[in-house]
Amino acid sequence: MARPISWIGQALLYGLFALIIGYFSNSPPYRHLPADQALIKLSFSHEGKLVSPCRQRTAEELEKLAPNMRAPMDCPRERSPVTVEIDLDGTPAYRHVAMPSGLSKDGASTVYHRIPVNSGEHRLAIRLNDDARAMGFNYRREETVALKPGKVLVIDFKQEAGGITLQ
């Protein structure tokens, strides 16, 4: 190939290379959610209550234990699974039973779930149970929320803040 033509060809191909890099480095644009939607994120990391209460060991039981292991109280490590339900505008939107983590089931139960919703006003009802010995739900929260397009609403559980939080 004649040298000038070769140079032009090279310039074009280098340009094509730059074009490919430049284009796919930024394009095509990606929209994560439709413009008129908002996002509800349910997330918590919460340790459920112990599945059973501590109990006093009997004298016979203590006798069978090694002297250095004779703790008067026997406290189980296993924690309750955490059950959560969400109703959105009166309709069940999510239900999940989060098992405690760890080989001995003594760790936190964790949940993460995304619920895309149309923007606007919504009625939320959240129920949570973290005690296997309790019937029903021991935490509840109902709220009407106004969600702008693109808004992220985080539903969390913070014991120190009184339970279920909306942020």
Partner 1 sequence: MTMNLFDSTRSSALIAYQRVERGFDRVFGTALNPWRHLGALGFLFFWIIAVTGLYLYAALDTSVDGVYRSIGRLSREQWYAGGVLRSLHRYAADAFVLVTLLHLLREFLLGRYTGFRYFSWFTGVPLLWFIYIAGVVGIWLRWDQLAQFSAAATAEWLDALPVFATPLIRNYLSTDAVSDRLFSLFVFVHIGVPLLLIFGLWFHIQRISRAEVFPPFALAVGSLLAILALSLARPVASQAAADLSMVPGPLALDWFYLFWQPLMYGTSAAAVWAFVTGATLLLFLMPALPHAAASPIAEVHPDNCNGCRRCFEDCPYAAIVMTPHPGGFPGRQLARVIPDLCASCGICAGSCPSSTPFRSAAELVTGIDMPQMPIDGLRRALERGMAQFQGGNGIVVFGCDQGANVASLAGKDVASFSLTCIGMLPPSFVEYALRGGAKGVLVTGCRAGGCAFRLGNRWTEERFAGMREPHLRGSLPGKALRVAWASLGEEAELSAVLDDLRQTLAAERLHNAVPISVPIADQIADPIVPSTGMTVHG
Contact of 24 with 94, CB cutoff 8 Å: no
Select 74 or 106, whichever has its Cβ closest to partner 1: 106
| Sole window of 65-73, 87-95, 125-133, 148-156 interacting with partner 1 (rule: CB under 8 A) | 148-156
Q: How far is the CB of 78 from partner 1 (least distance, A)?
A: 16
Q: How far is the CB of 166 from partner 1 (least distance, A)?
A: 11
Decide if residue 32 touches partner 1 (CB under 8 A).
yes
150: nearest Cα among 118, 126, 121: 118
Measured distance CA(31)–CA(18) in Å, rounded? 25
Measured distance CA(164)–CA(48) in Å, rounded? 14
Select 22 or 53, whichever has its Cβ closest to partner 1: 22
Select 43 or 58, whichever has its Cβ closest to partner 1: 43
Q: 3-state DSSP call for residue 28?
A: coil
Decide if residue 21 touches partner 1 (CB under 8 A).
yes
Select 37 or 85, whichever has its Cβ closest to partner 1: 37
Binding flags for partner 1, 94-113, as an x/- string (CB under 8 A) = -------xx----xx-x-x-
39 by Cβ neighbours in 10 Å (0-12 / 13-18 / 19+) ranks as middle
Decide if residue 9 touches partner 1 (CB under 8 A).
yes
Q: Given CA atoms 103, 165, 141, 96 in this order, what sign does their dihedral have?
A: negative
